[in-house]
Chain A
Amino acid sequence: MNRIISKKELNPTVTLMVIEAPLIAKKAEPGQFIIIRSHEDAERIPLTVSDFDREAGTVTIIFQIVGAATMRLNTLREGEFVESFAGPLGKATHTEGLKKVAVVGGGVGCAIAYPVAKKLFEQGAEVHSIAGFRSKDLVILEDEFRAHSAKFFPMSDDGSWGEKGLVTDALRKLIESGEQYDEVITIGPLIMMKFVCMLTKEYGVRTIASMNPIMIDGTGMCGCCRLTVGGKTRFACVEGPEFDGHEIDFDEAMSRSRMYADFEKREREETCNLLKAAEGGNA
């Protein structure tokens, strides 16, 4: 049981929670994730650590309300407890020796991209951050990115925030203008990461993608999170979640991410109705 120290709505579908977890806060590094279970009968879901405070003993998570599990997590209030909070799991982002890096985040993936940018920035690397959102009202962590990047490139699908276009448009422009990156680190929807990796492969820029497959235990027991990297089966929970983006079979990963799409849709609707009924009852 871990206490929710604070909770903040970043936009209508994205919530930030600061969770009391001193042991995890002591160890967590950017790129790692935790397994959270909001209620006794809730699913175990992996969420990447978006920040941590070693002294205060807290870990920050940012999640998008996409399904039943995140919907129920979002019903919890400050001062209440999540049932399970285990980690930090997975391998930390490799940042050593990197001098100049482009960090490319998309949507709620920016919540994971941010701590990576921050760590690189604090290590003295030249960080170019590209953040993409559908529109202005979905933007998160803008100030944080600006404060930890040498250059910041906001992109939106509809042009309501920053420049109109995709993150790949911004990245292509930078590479073509002669920017030479030691590495590109990309975190966001699978389809976005796929196109970022296709682009950087074209230019021969090493690229790391942070994967977020379906997991159960998250500790290297069930094999649910497997993906194909360089023709080999790899397990995101213990060998990842970050892999060489040029080697990942993204099409397979996208197909696997849809395995329970029907079930998830039903669950989401049911949970939504239940929560609405509960709210109605309280009113």
Chain B
Amino acid sequence: MAAREPKKHEMPTQKPEVRAHNFNEVALGYTAEIAASEAQRCLGCKNKPCMQGCPVNIDIPEFISHIKQNDIEGAYDVITKSSSLPAVCGRVCPQESQCEHECTLAVKLNMEPVGIGRLERFVADTHRLNKTGETVRPEPNGHRVAVVGSGPSGLTCAGDLAKKGYAVTVYEALHTAGGVLVYGIPEFRLPKSIVADEVNTLKELGVEIVTDVVIGRTLTIDELFEQGFEAVFIGSGAGLPNFMNIPGESLNGVYSANEFLTRSNLMKAYSDSSRTPIMKGGNVAVVGGGNVAMDAARTALRLGAEKVYIIYRRSMEEMPARKEEVEHAMEEGIDFRILCNPAEILGYRNPDNPRDPKNGFVRAIRCVRMELGEPDERGRRSPHEIPGSEFELDTDTVIMAIGTSPNPLIKSTTKGLEVNRRGGIIVNENGLTTRENVYAGGDAVTGAATVISAMGAGKTAAKAIDEALGSK
């Protein structure tokens, strides 16, 4: 047998200087030839360590073996036994810290792991292109389940239950299904047509999706039970954006990442025909070091910013964003100002003209340099301000990407639903809340986390709901 290639096949991407000015997808996907060749790198380990690293337990060696035999539909069937959103996961999962992190090539042989995520995406995209015929609807089992929120956890829970014959209704507060996949993650990382296709696949399975209904307001959880639903899954997602509580955060030109991304993604402010305003051009400072910060920074760049800064108070090592996203952002020219923390956002005020249209808008952000102290008991080095190190960056827009706090709507209208100190819904290991037959998962439980962990929670809850109702 030929020597195994030590490196993953590279993902074909748009060139940084080109993609920095368009909203088309950055990564173009493996061709059939590259996928076949990458699949050959998989050892097909009997103990399947990669599978342990997957929050939804996809039988990874099995789907890759189908690629090896050029049976892409077979590979798709293996993946969809475990994942309702393969085209999404193949794009946005942090594989490097999950399945690929456990790959024997990396763990034992000091090579790069198999490009599992890239192969998953290849399989899902190939299926999308070649799809023929209708999805077969499972035989109804007579049980009804309501799902609150159509983000990754809700869609996963709905998909898993629908496949078992449950009549599932998904309620979405916004006008488009997909949750964070639609309003949060930008087009260049996850095309909205792909989300729409995944949602349509669920509809073909019989899932009903009701948009523009706000659970906690239009209908309460109790009313869902009155309507005959036997179980409810709450996947309402993250809530109100956090701000730093520094002076100047209410100036015009200061956005939460949620707002900035919602304007661009859900409301399509990036397209010329959109009716939704967004501040474009000038200098943009994004505060935070997570995936959301990267998405906001790269969106601002594509909207026409001259200069985009990421301001992060720790160092590159501590940055929570996926490595690939950070690399992409750097290639595109995002200016990383690490070990810096904003102290104040400064506004423009013309003392001679109270009607100057620039009054009340951001003109600069004042930051202080940070240094990392000794590691704390959790091993994380906490940042400290360096006295006298303050400096200003001229900026027109500031985007706060420093997390969210859970939405109070459902909690405040559902008796007996308990939340923790941070407002996250309390659940047991099966996703069951403190209310009978009410399950929850995703950011509504954990606070801001990843798409795949939310999907994992949706899956766990679906299994528990099936165990609770299926025997009735």
Residues of A within 8 A of B (CB): 23-24, 27, 37, 41-44, 68-69, 83-89, 216-217, 219-224, 226-228, 233, 235, 238, 249, 252, 255-256, 258-264, 267
Contact = CB atoms under 8 A, between A and B. Distances in A.
Contacts of B238: 221
A85 B212 CA distance: 7
B359 interface: yes
Contacts, number: 113
A259 B245 contact: no
A235 B267 CA distance: 20
A77 B326 CA distance: 50
Contact of A43 (B275, B359, B407): B275
A53 to B, nearest CB: 17
Nearest to A83: B175
A223 B259 CA distance: 6
Most buried by A among B214, B252, B256: B214
Interface in B256-283: 256, 258-259, 262-263, 266-268, 273-277
A99 to B, nearest CB: 28
B250 A227 contact: yes
Given A83-B175, A255-B252, A220 B217 contact: no
Contact of B259 (A219, A222, A249): A222
Contacts of B243: 223, 226, 233
Contacts of A42: 275
B175 A37 contact: yes
B106 interface: no
A220 B242 CA distance: 12
Interface string B184-227: 00000000000000000000000000011110011100000000
A82 to B, nearest CB: 10
21 contacts: A23-B218, A44-B267, A68-B275, A84-B211, A86-B212, A86-B218, A87-B217, A88-B217, A216-B259, A217-B173, A219-B214, A219-B407, A221-B183, A221-B239, A221-B262, A233-B250, A235-B240, A238-B407, A256-B250, A258-B252, A259-B252
B175 A44 contact: yes
Given A23-B218, A44-B175, A255-B252, A221 B407 contact: yes
A130 B243 CA distance: 38
A223 B357 contact: no
Contact of B241 (A89, A222, A258): A222
Contacts of B239: 220-221
Chain B CB within 10 Å, residue with most, of A37, A87, A219, A261: A219
Contacts of A89: 214, 217
A33 to B, nearest CB: 11
Secondary structure type dominating chain B contacts: loop
Interface of B: 173-175, 183, 211-214, 217-219, 237-241, 243, 245, 249-253, 255-256, 258-259, 262-263, 266-268, 273-277, 357, 359-360, 407-409
Contacts of B256: 222-224
A260 B175 contact: no
A220 B240 contact: yes
Contacts of B263: 216
A251 to B, nearest CB: 9
Given A23-B218, A86-B212, A219-B407, A228 B240 contact: no
Contacts of B267: 43-44, 216
B250 A223 contact: no
A84 B277 contact: no
Given A221-B183, A221-B407, A223-B256, 7 more contacts: A27-B218, A37-B175, A41-B268, A44-B175, A219-B173, A221-B262, A238-B408
A163 B94 CA distance: 67
Contact of A23 (B219, B255, B407): B219
Best-buried of A84, A88, A220, A224 by chain B (most CB within 10 Å): A220
Contacts of A219: 173-174, 214, 217, 407, 409
Nearest to B215: A219
Contacts of B237: 221
A221 B261 CA distance: 11
A233 B249 contact: yes
Contacts of B357: 261-262
Contacts of B249: 233
A248 B322 CA distance: 41
Nearest to A1: B212
